[in-house]
Structure 1
Amino acid sequence: MSNPSLMPVEQALENMLNTVSKITDKETVELPQALGRIVNRPVNSTLDVPGYDNSAMDGYAVRSSEASKGASLTVVGVAAAGHPFNDDIPENGCVRIMTGAPIPNSMDAVVIQENTEANSDHSEITVLQDVPENDNIRRRGSDIALGEEVIPTGTRLSAVDIGLLASLGIAEVAVFRKPKVAVFSTGDELVAPGDKLKSGQIYDSNRYLLIAMLEKLGVDVVNLGRLNDDLDAISQALEDATQSCDAVITSGGVSVGDADFTKMALEQLGSVSFWKVAMKPGKPFAFGKLKNTWFFGLPGNPVAAAVTMDQLAQPVLKHLAGEKHISSDAYQAVAAEGLKKRPGRADFQRGWLEQNKAGQLTVSSAGSQSSAVLSTFRRANCFIRLEQERDTVKAGEEVTVLPFSTLLR
């Protein structure tokens, strides 16, 4: 049954997206530094692409009215990319042309080389098939017209986008400032990797995991390290983060234990929108605000931290950065085996998605679904998202799968 004290995942995400305001600070970066940046205003083409009528194939530029099947045409010159043919072309003349070369004046079609037969010295060709007007010609502006919007506001620039901008002669682009995000983990039991463990201690994996995910997201990360379970130390770290950061992400300390000092500090220093979400793993997820800094309190268990970072914090941080929100890809797949589930929380189980010989998408469990077993992410490529009120899944039932985002790959 549903627990009314737990906020549904969809509601939690909507709440955060509607609450968090986008960064408005802007800057201009040169193209080599623009990959992954968010465009802050539309980019319009400064020219036609292609910039002139050109040949789509190797062949011969002809007048279609003279290039009927069986016609003999005299080759009067050659046109190549960067080397146009500009002379007048006599009646029943043609021009040898290469892919990308400008179409000579008065020519209105290109007959491909395979549809011609040349004499011994290639001074004359015979056309083997009728050539329609405009055949194999890429017209000026047919790809992109002068003034056309090519990249809308809120786009995260991809490698293809960078190439497109370069093809338009654009050397720099206006983007939003990168969000600055502080990260720290809490817990007396945590030890930095490389140090020797003592009895009752574990390595601090969450902070390294979250920083790596944030770096893939393209934000500026401020690593505040590991803090002991001390209210004053945590309060000071939160205060410091509010001085220069747009958001702060913590791991651990937001559940109901006596030593959850992050929760205490947040209640003293800021406002809290919600503490618990109806998701598994990841129930103890907190969202709030400290002065002008947004706060995301992630669970202490490593899997729960990764899931909530990916499913809840990631979309909001993208929104904060000015990126246009795009829903995650979701597919329907057949469960290859039974999946344990109890109603009450949306379940994000680690799974392996593949296509069987019949072309059907199937998904199976990646192994242990414990929120402390991080290694199962290595055997998974997706989340199996089971609805909040869904019960145990039987083999053969359809389920929703979410392929891992780039943050987890």
Structure 2
Amino acid sequence: MKSLEQIAAELQGYDPQALSAEAVGEFLSRLVEPLEAFEEVGIFDALNRVLAEAVISPLSVPPHDNSAMDGFAFDGGQLRADAPLTLEVVGTALAGKAWHGEVAPGQCVKIMTGAIVPDGLDTVVPQEFTKPAGDGRILVPANVLKRGENRRLKGEDLMEGRPALPRGERLGPAACGLLASLGLARVKVVRKVRVAYFSTGDEILSLGEPPREGAVYDSNRFTVFGLLTRLGCEVIDMGVVRDDPALLEAAFSRAASAADAIVTSGGVSVGEADYTKAMMKKLGDVAFWRIAMRPGRPMAVGRIGRSVLFGLPGNPVAVMVTFLAFVRPALLKMMGARDLAPPMLRARSGEPMRKKPGRTEYQRGVVSKAEDGSLHVRTTGNQGSGVLSSMVQANGLIVLHHAQGNVAVGEEVDVMMFDGVI
């Protein structure tokens, strides 16, 4: 396990008082390590979990050549480009029940979607393409299909003995369905990352407390809880901890003994009149950064015991942005996931944006589709780090990179979307 000093020495131009967003990501990728503990879970409990080992397909999917259509199966070698084909129907193949019989030239089998294609047949003509020809026969018009069409081949989805899912795959709904299609009721996954979280500050009110002058209700506790839960972490909610050395020491010690990672909000800004930073220094190996970004400039990172510490700023939007940009990829690495960074899409800006090179900006944006099918994005307006309502209005973060300058109307920008379809 490397110390923060050793990691910093490996990064060219490391300056904790002027750290680029890219350097933060690189630092954290060296700080965190994947968990080595695994467990076996049922498929219903596997959603968002990370595979601890590759899944090798125990069977082929589909297990037989089968029909992709309701229609008629026959030997496609009889097709002629310039002439219709007349076929005698000699049987019916139903899904889930193999049809056994001989099919001679000039004959076919009526077949349902998913039914096994009988031996010697390789083509299925959809029923709606055919015409009755009398006496139990059908007519296949010329040029309506080619040999081999509308047949699903054995193993075209997954072949027995070959990898079906790689180690590190984060299991979404489609992957869970794929596992079930292989007949697998249980799967080996990395155990959940345990994350202890608490807010700090005397100005923070918990829900149920009466309002008081100068105090605000703690929204960060609930946004971070949601982010951690959606990511698939085991969350240890420690509530609000006051600016009291004894209370903070007890909270950090308890968190470090119970969790793989600790996330706090508040108490890391320069000039903060509280004891949070002092306690972090006392109990762990911690670096205090000023990141060249907006919002979310102050951040603390390090270890307390064997737990990785992420000290986030106190403003609600800054908490969410720093979590999405830095904490989420780090936790995914701890989970053993292959894909750490959220995918970016490109959209045309619907308004000019002022931006100075030398810092990364994450502006709340709303992506929509224009009549021509192109994607456009506009900001939500006020980009203040305390305007939590803007995160509700937005469906993504417009990422204006470190070296990027002003953005003109119609210019393409990167957008980190909040949610995917599956």
TM-score for the superposition, normalised by structure 2:
0.90
1:183-262 correspondence to structure 2 within 5 Å: 183-262=197-276
- The match for 2:76 is 64
Indicate how the Cα distance of structure 1 residues 70 and 405 shifts in structure 2: closer, same or farther if over 3 A, else same: closer
Among 15, 28, 35, which residue is 1:23 paired with?
35
CA gap of 1:333–1:293, structure 2 versus 1, over 3 A, is same
1:315 correspondence with 2:329: yes
On the 8 A contact 1:182/1:245 being kept in 2, the answer is yes
Structure-2 residue corresponding to 1:48: 60
2:137 equivalent to 1:124:
yes
**More moved, 251-260 vs 68-77:** 68-77
Partner of 2:296: 282
Supply the distance in 1 between the matched residues of 2:31 and 2:382 (Cα, whole angstroms): 35
CA distance in 2, matches of 1:113, 1:367: 56
1:365-389 per-position Cα deviation (integer Å, ceiling 9, x unaligned): 2111111111111222222222334
C-alpha change, 1:124 and 1:387, in structure 2 (3 Å) is closer
8 A contact 1:54–1:139 mirrored in 2: yes
The share of aligned pairs that are identical, in percent, is 40
In structure 2, C-alpha distance between the alignment counterparts of 1:237 and 1:317, rounded to whole Å: 21
User: Which one of the candidate residues 178, 181, 204 is aligned to 1:167?
Assistant: 181
Q: How far apart, CA to CA, are the structure 1 residues paired with 2:278 and 2:372?
A: 55
Q: Does 1:7 align with 2:19?
A: yes
- Find the residue that maps to 2:290 and give its secondary structure: coil
Q: Is the 8 A contact 1:310 1:405 kept in 2?
A: no
Letter in structure 2 aligned against 1:178: K
TM-score of the two chains, using structure 1 as the length reference = 0.92
Distance in 2 separating the partners of 1:279 and 1:366: 19
Letter of the 2:55 partner, please give it. V
Match of 1:337 among 351, 369, 374: 351
Query: Structure 2 vs 1, CA of residues 96 and 396 (structure 1 numbering), >3 Å: closer, same or farther?
Result: closer
- CA distance 1:140–1:344, change in 2 (3 Å): closer
* Other structure's SS at 2:248 match: helix
Which residue pairs with 2:401 in the alignment? Answer: 387
**Alpha carbons 2:94, 2:112 under 8 Å: kept:** yes
Letter in 1 for 2:72: Y
Q: Please state whether the residue corresponding to 1:24 is helix, strand or coil.
A: coil
- Preserved CA contact (<8 Å) 2:51 2:190: yes
SS at match of 2:416: strand
Gaps of 5+ in 1: none
SS at match of 1:72: strand
CA deviation vs aligned residue, 1:180-239 (integer Å, no higher than 9, x gap): 000001111111123211111110111111111111111000011101111221111111
Separation in 2, partners of 1:272, 1:210 = 21
Q: CA deviation at 1:258?
A: 4.7
**2:10 is matched with which residue?**
none
Aligned partners of 1:63, 1:360: CA distance in 2, in Å? 45
Question: Does structure 1 conserve the Cα–Cα contact (< 8 Å) formed by 2:86 and 2:133?
Answer: no
The residue aligned with 1:158 is: 172
- Partners of 1:73 and 1:143 lie apart in 2 by 31
Corresponding residue of 2:92: 78
Match of 2:47 among 29, 35, 40: 35
From the superposition, tell whether residues 16 and 103 of structure 1 become closer, same or farther in structure 2 (CA, over 3 Å). same
- State the one-letter code of the partner of 1:279: M
CA distance in 1, matches of 2:234, 2:327: 15
Aligned length: 404
